[in-house]
Amino acid sequence: MPPYRFSFGPWNLSDGPDPFGPAVRGSFTFVEKVKLAKEMGFDALQFHDDDAVPDLDARSSAEIVRQARATKQILTDHGLVAEFVAPRLWFSPQTIDGAFTSNDAADRSYALERSIKAIDIGHELGTNILVLWLARDGTYVREAKSVPCAMRYLVGAIDQMLEYDKNLRILVEPKPNEPTDQAYIPTVGHAVALSYQTSDPTRMGILIETAHQILAGLDPSDEMGFALSFNKLWSVHLNDQSGLKFDEDKSFGEVDLRRAFNQVRVLEENNYGNNGEYVGLDVKALRTQRKEVSAKHLANSRETFLWLLDKVRTLNRRLYAELVKQRDYEELTRYITAHLLGVQY
């Protein structure tokens, strides 16, 4: 059994702005973030394209390659690798109405070109994984777009990426809302269905984020099990979420420990990681943290995963199977509660 390997993105270490107020602490430089990742026991970093190449839209292809190589060198110098690159398709004026599903053909071309740049950056960073979080591909007003038409645009763009790089693997990260009112690929089921519409479903996988499943009213561990049953769970963004509100990206397990336990259980029971998949954390530091303690959420989330892994591995599997056989689920839930609390059972 290979040990689990962990990753996060540079955006998970921030100076604390939110939509209602500015930064509240100093920022870490990229090199400081890489050092922190290594110190905290992480193995890889995840990248938005412009985390690796700042000011991407303003740069020539030669500059993009040069900057991406410099970023890769920093990773190598610190013993880390890149897990994936994700094009930032939600920031520029050209993505206001969506990226691949914008009603404007010029904007759709921008989204594809930007994604191709992200693929090129991935080459330089040594990863063939592209993550698509389809942030603005959806609507605020239902009548604004045609869904079948939007799906044709989306599949067409994905096919062009798959054609551009024959080794590329694309992971769709579904999320039901925010920033849009309704997203077009809101759930894991939609992402699986989308993958089968593309020219090469074998190169299409899913990244499941805990909070996004909760926002969709679904159970994260069941969604992981569903994707695993199609061999499509190729990355995760573990975090936590308190109910149906904005995407909180809380530390893993800090809202609902039992829900976190079940995510670790499903990953462990289905050999997640055996094909090189990482345990990614997409967690946000509380705005109230001072800078010197503003990386704890990452170390804590990783440690909680390992604590829960121990709980999964020390389950009394004979008792578990017997209770399922007896269909005594009341006793099963009691046993799990006792086990999580460390109560002698």
DSSP string, 7-42: EE-GGGS----BTTB---SPPPPHHHHHHHHHHTT-
Given Mg ion, ligand XLS, none, residue 175, with its beta carbon under 5 to 8 Å by kind, binds ligand XLS
- Interface residue with ligand XLS among 50, 223, 247, 248 (CB under 6 A) is 247
Closest distance between ligand XLS and the C-beta of residue 84, in Å?
Answer: 9
- Interface residue with ligand XLS among 173, 223, 240, 277 (CB under 6 A) is 173
- Interface residue with Mg ion among 49, 83, 209, 240 (CB under 5 A) is 209
> Residue of minimal CB distance from ligand XLS?
133
Check residue 134 for interaction with ligand XLS (CB under 6 A).
Answer: no
Amino acid letter for position 320: Y
Given the rule CB under 5 A, which of 74-82, 84-92, 179-187, 234-242 is the region that contacts Mg ion?
Answer: 234-242
Name the pairing type of β-strands 44-48 and 81-86.
parallel
78 a catalytic residue: no
Beta carbons of 27 and 302 less than 8 angstroms apart = no
48 a catalytic residue: yes
Spatial CA neighbour of 208 closest among 182, 184, 181, 189? 189
- Interface residue with ligand XLS among 175, 250, 265, 302 (CB under 6 A) is 175
**Total Cβ atoms within 10 A of residue 246:** 12
**Cα four-point dihedral sign 292, 297, 300, 302:** negative
Specify the 3-state DSSP secondary structure of 165.
Answer: coil
Check residue 278 for interaction with ligand XLS (CB under 6 A).
Answer: no
Task: Say how many residues make up the chain.
Answer: 345
Q: Kindly name the residue from 49, 50, 51, 249 that is annotated as catalytic.
A: 51
Residue whose CB is less far from Mg ion, 44 or 323: 44
Spatial CA neighbour of 281 closest among 262, 260, 265? 260
String marking each residue 267-286 x if it binds Mg ion according to CB under 5 A:
---------------x----
Residues labelled as active-site residues: 48, 51
- Binding positions for ligand XLS, rule: CB under 6 A: 48, 86, 133, 173, 175, 209, 237, 247, 282
